[in-house]
């Protein structure tokens, strides 16, 4: 009986959507590509296409416009944090504006150049508006 409970807890844990990856309370999904789509439906179609093209279930996380707006609302108290100055603040504003316009988002684990290119190539014909890769020390605009 206890084995069933532990298996259930593990399954529940896997089903929970990960929070936006952060470093010092700043969005920082190192090794990931952030993709923004025209709307939530386009993001879901792209998520399915990525799965069918070999990306695993834990590699692709979808965030609706409402989830992005809620996430940034929760972070508003950090708005004047000195760590949010410069590029990070600009990036947060860019994501917020896209979400306000109805964009849906995917965050895709793509640690190497080939998986990055493959993710963008798959997503591009499916309403992709914006793509960038978070490298260890740089942010690379892809689309």
d(CA 68, CA 126): 20
d(CA 59, CA 8): 22
Global pTM value: 0.75
pLDDT digits (tens, 9 = 90+) for 118-128: 999 999 999 99
pLDDT digits (tens, 9 = 90+) for 88-141: 667 778 889 999 999 999 999 999 999 999 999 999 999 999 999 988 877 778
Q: What are phi and psi of 56, to 5 degrees?
A: -80, 165
Instruction: Write the CB contacts of 87 (distance below 8 Å, at least 6 apart in sequence).
Output: 139
Domains defined for the chain, CATH in brackets: 32-137 (3.30.70)
Q: In what order do the strands lie in the sheet with 104-109?
A: 60-63, 104-109, 32-37, 128-134, 139-141
> Quick one: DSSP state of residue 139?
E
């Amino acid at each position: 009986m206890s084995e069933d409970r532990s298996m259930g807890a593990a399954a529940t844990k896997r089903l929970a959507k990960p929070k936006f990856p952060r470093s010092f309370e700043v969005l920082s999904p190192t090794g990931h590509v952030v993709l923004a789509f025209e709307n939530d439906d386009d993001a879901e179609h792209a998520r399915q296409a990525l799965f069918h093209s070999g990306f695993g279930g834990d590699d692709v996380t979808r965030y609706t416009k409402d989830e992005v707006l809620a996430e940034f609302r929760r972070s508003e108290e950090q708005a004047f944090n000195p760590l949010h100055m410069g590029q990070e603040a600009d990036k947060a504003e860019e994501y917020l504006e896209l979400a306000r316009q109805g964009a849906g988002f995917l965050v895709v684990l793509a640690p190497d150049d080939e998986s990055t290119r493959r993710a963008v190539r798959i997503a591009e014909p499916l309403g992709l508006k914006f793509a960038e890769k978070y490298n260890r020390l740089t942010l690379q605009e892809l689309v």
